[in-house]
Structure 1
Amino acid sequence: MNETLDALPESARRVARLLSERGHAKPVVMLAETGKTSAEAAAGLGCSVAQIAKSILFRRKEDDAPVLVIASGANRVDEKKVAARVGELGRADARFVREKTGYAIGGVCPIGHVTPPVTLIDKDLLALDSLWAAAGHPHAVFNLTPQELIALTDAPVVDVALRETA
């Protein structure tokens, strides 16, 4: 699964360089199958769905700012919880995602965005030892710890998960 930098797609190369510049030693890995969904990525990596740190982008209605929620692949994001922290949210279509992040949907990395987003990290990720996040391309991922994710993004850790009530 390990790739040399030259073999990576350009968007994944950009992420690999950025990670290296920030002192992150683990390589960008290319999956044979797409990692567009948490389940696909987990199956390709042989890890649990919860270990996928999925990047979900919203549009803040007030000012069109990108809002990035990095959530456990096992969780659905509670938009009301996110809106309570950052303001009313709107949907981010594919054009908005590409324009604000520089990445295609399915490959949105937690870092290296064209427009720095308001970022929140799902507190449930802190219960895990190892995470996998998208690395700028639907087939590219990288491994990190929850602490490394916090350090790379400088984002607050909050409860963003939709909790089903009985």
Structure 2
Amino acid sequence: MSDARAAAFAERLAGLGVVIEPREMDESTHTAKQAADAIGCSVAAIVKSLVLVADGEPLLVLASGPNRVDLDRVGQHVGAPVAMADADTVKRATGSSIGGVPPLGHPAPLRTIMDESLLDQPVVWAAAASARSVFGIEPHRLAELTAAEVARVS
């Protein structure tokens, strides 16, 4: 694998006992549509890892590709107003840049909310710490590994 960020990510997860096989794409997987086209799956099987801020703390929302996150709904769920994090906050909280944020393996654990509709998919695809690499995982396993609160986010 020539994508050093994805290789380092896979190594980091292996150290936690989680084995993944990142797939490096020729095309960008920066958007859910681009990722779905590159993988050959539905957009609903794409995990968008979005970093929000609630009470000054980063909050990770794992949303299904076609779903637009409703900030008010997420705020009601967490009991505080939420806003999109800026690029610096995203990088600091996750170690990755916007468009390549993985759902797990961050420098410190993040409170995570997972879109309930992701559980309808047999396999979901998420960024492997870069905009060109993804990995597949069973959604219930992803929820378990991230200690996600499963909720409606759109």
Which category of TM-score, normalised to the shorter sequence, fits these structures? over 0.9
Matches within 5 A, 1:65-104: 65-86=57-78, 87-104=80-97
| Alpha-carbon shift at residue 54 of structure 1 (Å) | 0.9
Which position in structure 2 is the counterpart of 1:38?
A: 32
Q: CA RMSD in A?
A: 1.3
Spell out structure 1 runs of 4+ moving beyond 4 A: none
What residue identity is the alignment partner of 1:21?
G
TM-score, L = length of structure 2: 0.93
Percent identical: 39
Cα distance in structure 2, aligned partners of 1:152 and 1:25? 12
| Alpha-carbon shift at residue 117 of structure 1 (Å) | 1.7
Which position in structure 1 is the counterpart of 2:52?
A: 58
For the 8 Å contact 1:29–1:141, the answer to whether it is kept is: yes
Cα distance in structure 2, aligned partners of 1:115 and 1:21? 15
- Specify every segment of 5 or more residues in structure 1 that has no aligned partner in the other structure, as ranges: 162-166
The range that moved more, 22-31 or 121-130, is: 22-31
The range that moved more, 107-116 or 48-57, is: 107-116
For the 8 Å contact 2:13–2:105, the answer to whether it is kept is: no
For the 8 Å contact 2:10–2:20, the answer to whether it is kept is: no
| Alpha-carbon shift at residue 14 of structure 1 (Å) | 2.4
Q: CA offsets, 1:15-46, max 9 Å, x none?
A: 20133234444401111111110000000001
Matches within 5 A, 1:142-161: 142-161=135-154
For 2:43, which of 49, 69, 89 is the aligned residue? 49
What residue identity is the alignment partner of 1:149?
L
For the 8 Å contact 1:27–1:142, the answer to whether it is kept is: yes
Which position in structure 2 is the counterpart of 1:8?
A: 3
The range that moved more, 127-136 or 146-155, is: 146-155
For the 8 Å contact 1:52–1:73, the answer to whether it is kept is: yes
Cα distance in structure 1, aligned partners of 2:125 and 2:64? 10
Pairing 1:112–2:105 present: yes
